[in-house]
Homo-oligomer: A and B are copies of this chain.
Amino acid sequence: MSGMSDPVQSVLQSFRGYVKKMKSYGEALDVMYWDLRTGAPRKGVEARSEVIGELSAEMFKMSVSDEMGRYLEQLSAPESFGQLDETNRKLVEECKKEYDRSKKIPPERYQEYVVLTSQAETVWEEAKAKSDFAMFQPYLEKIVAANLEFVELWGYEGHRYNTLLDMYEPGMTVEKLDALFADVREKLVPLVAAIQKSANKPDTSFLNQTFDVAQQKLFSLFILKELGYDFEAGRLDESVHPFATGLNPGDVRITTRYLPNDVTSALFGTIHECGHGLYEQNISKDLIGTPLCTGTSMGIHESQSRFWENMVGRSRPFWQRYYGKLQELYPDRFRDVPVESFYRAINVVQPSLIRIEADELTYNLHIMIRYEIEKALFDGSLQVKDLPAYWNEKYREYLGVVPSHDGEGVLQDVHWAGGAFGYFPSYSLGNMYSAQIRHAMEKELGALDDLIANGDFASVKAWLVERIYRYGKLLTPQEIVMRVTGEPLDPDYLVRYLQTKYADIYGL
């Protein structure tokens, strides 16, 4: 803290202590969430929810307290701010952004909203099971209305939805996304059509067998170690919905779900979460105890999960390397299946109704549908009551399939019940980022396929740590893309990657 005046140094120290305390609440909450999802006893959930409620409320109070306000005012003042190093500047900016945002919502409205979304998630679960959109509709209407109200309070530039996008992908706007998605869609829809017309379809029949779960677990653990996931700084557990949670860089946990009749679900789920995990495990330890100690955006986070899952895990050299191991674990299952057949089967393209089961290619079309819907909800051109019809129409238009009921249609995702408008685009942005980053990586390290063929994941990981992971939130998504690739986000890298890969698989 050299070159800093005593008063600034003193405020900074108090501020850092205050932020660290807030972050401690955050870590305690994250441990409890992890615990709830990985086997906490059913009968303790109600009391645990109250505990989580108390600590969350306390953490929120701290984020908007007068004390926080004073720190931010003092440290943002030009004469103080100028004395801060880059990390502390970023920290002040990050806290100020959160403070300003939270301060604008009346606390009682925020509290009501937390209760509303919590109830809505429960109702959604039942509505989905019963395919009963009418049951969920009043909740969703209130959630959209609340978000519209919040956007007015927060303020917005251009489209109202921009303010929501910015929460997950700082700096992202409708204007940019419209262009990105139009470009991708224009080129992917013909590719999907060509694939559907191809006579050269992969045989997937051998995937429809049962696979001992204990062996699946062994294989997941084996692959995680190969990829460089650090088991001294993490663990693999099971949960209904797989997730990764970075408690601190020394404790980044991932989960998966083993299905007895599907050997690929747990495996690719594991590799996906491993990507998130590698990111969080390798954030610089200097950032521990601050809100900067996490991935910079959901888009960049997803770029890493998808890089490792798709570009590594679903690549030909990966299976040329590890298929023998899988065959050993299941000698009866794959004896007569050549590795090339396996590789093609795990990359089959098939327009479908359910996003989370979609293939690497059509996945982006699922996202675009949700993006169009969210945009329309927030510019007022679409009402919640008209959602199911709009959804089905879009699925017909983009993917050529129509849900037979809302459970496999508009009710399939939990995001809206939780009020997470603006989140979905992150998934496709992740795909775009990953292709562009891969391209930059190959310019320095040579072909990724060769690295994979040699099992040289250490070089791949080191390259990503050096350029992306270690920075946490010190760099914005835009800064990372510019620094790493030398140009702004360009969706053509994704398009070209997909065109090349699938032209090869389908012999187009």
Chain A interface residues (CB < 8 Å from chain B): 20-21, 24-25, 27-29, 31-32, 35, 39-48, 50-51, 54-55, 58, 230-235, 247-253, 288-289
Q: Give the residues in chain B near A21, CB-CB below 8 Å.
A: 54, 58
- Given A24-B50, A32-B31, A289-B47, A251 and B55 contact (CB-CB distance below 8 Å): no
A288→B51 CA distance, assembly (Å): 11
CB–CB B41/A232 < 8 A: yes
A27→B29 CA distance, assembly (Å): 11
Nearest 9 A/B pairs, CB to CB: A44-B251, A43-B250, A44-B250, A24-B54, A47-B248, A43-B233, A24-B51, A28-B28, A27-B51
A85→B338 CA distance, assembly (Å): 76
Interface centre among A21, A43, A44 (most CB of B within 10 A): A44
CB–CB B247/A48 < 8 A: yes
Closest to A46 in B: B250
The distance from the CB of A24 to the nearest CB of chain B, in whole angstroms, is: 4
CB–CB B251/A40 < 8 A: yes
- 22 A-B residue pairs with CB within 8 Å: A20-B54, A21-B58, A24-B54, A25-B54, A25-B55, A27-B47, A28-B31, A28-B51, A31-B31, A39-B235, A40-B251, A43-B230, A43-B233, A43-B250, A44-B247, A44-B248, A44-B252, A45-B250, A47-B247, A47-B288, A47-B289, A48-B251
Q: Give the residues in chain B near A29, CB-CB below 8 Å.
A: 28
- Given A54-B20, A54-B21, A55-B28, A41 and B251 contact (CB-CB distance below 8 Å): yes
A58→B62 CA distance, assembly (Å): 13
- Given A41-B235, A58-B21, A232-B41, A250 and B288 contact (CB-CB distance below 8 Å): no
Q: Give the residues in chain B near A248, CB-CB below 8 Å.
A: 44, 47-48
A500→B229 CA distance, assembly (Å): 58
Q: Give the residues in chain B near A58, CB-CB below 8 Å.
A: 21
A20→B49 CA distance, assembly (Å): 13
- Given A21-B58, A54-B21, A58-B21, A27 and B43 contact (CB-CB distance below 8 Å): no
A137→B289 CA distance, assembly (Å): 35
The distance from the CB of A229 to the nearest CB of chain B, in whole angstroms, is: 11
- Given A51-B24, A55-B28, A43 and B235 contact (CB-CB distance below 8 Å): no
CB–CB B24/A55 < 8 A: yes
A54→B23 CA distance, assembly (Å): 10
Closest to A288 in B: B47
Closest to A35 in B: B31
Closest to A47 in B: B248
Q: Give the residues in chain B near A232, CB-CB below 8 Å.
A: 41-43
CB–CB B234/A41 < 8 A: yes
Closest to A23 in B: B51
